[in-house]
């Protein structure tokens, strides 16, 4: 039994999105003056998650994404690849059932891209739904990818 989203008031849609969808943005959408840790834990604040639990979850993700050494750095002072990993951690911290990723590997080298795809494959194995928009052939060719839908000249192509 799904929810009729088209009839929900905006405030309920916001709550529904927060609880259901993790977004990985191509342009990161971090707050440059906040630390890496604070940027990652930000989605948990409106949910009332206690500070110790927020930090625990964030540190686990930072460890997985190899950015623990940047925990206290302002987000505005780290590299593009590190910012991408902050954005990924922030999207995963609430353990939502759906992950929407817009060019999630755009600022990552090939090794980190494959690590990202391994994380996505593990999430998929654990029942998550993952939608990735990407131009990266490493993403498209990854064994965890079930289906590729392409857009060419404004036409949607479904194999």
CATH number of the domain encompassing residue 118: 3.40.50.300
Number of structural domains found in the chain = 1
Q: Do 58 and 50 form a contact (C-beta atoms < 8 A)?
A: no
The boundaries of the domain holding residue 86 are: 5-157
pLDDT value of residue 1: 56
Q: Do 93 and 57 form a contact (C-beta atoms < 8 A)?
A: yes
Residue corresponding to tokens 């052939």: 137
Residue range 103-140, pLDDT digits in tens: 999 988 998 899 899 999 999 999 999 999 999 998 99
Residue range 4-50, pLDDT digits in tens: 888 889 989 988 898 899 999 989 999 999 999 999 999 999 999 99
């Amino acid at each position: 039994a799904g929810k009729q989203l088209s009839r929900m008031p905006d405030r309920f849609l916001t709550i529904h999105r927060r609880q259901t969808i993790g977004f990985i943005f191509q342009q990161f959408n971090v707050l440059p003056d906040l630390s890496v840790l604070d940027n990652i834990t930000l989605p948990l604040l409106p949910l009332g998650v206690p500070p110790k639990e927020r930090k625990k979850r964030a540190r686990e993700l930072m460890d997985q994404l190899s950015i623990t050494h940047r925990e206290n750095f302002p987000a505005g002072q780290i590299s593009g690849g590190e910012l991408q990993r902050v954005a990924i951690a922030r999207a995963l911290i609430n353990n939502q059932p759906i992950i929407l990723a817009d060019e999630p590997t755009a600022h990552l080298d090939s090794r980190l891209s494959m690590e990202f795809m391994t994380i996505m494959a593990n999430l998929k194995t654990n029942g998550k739904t993952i939608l990735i928009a990407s131009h990266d052939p490493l993403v498209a060719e990854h064994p965890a990818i079930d289906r590729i839908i392409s857009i060419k000249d404004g036409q949607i192509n479904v194999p």
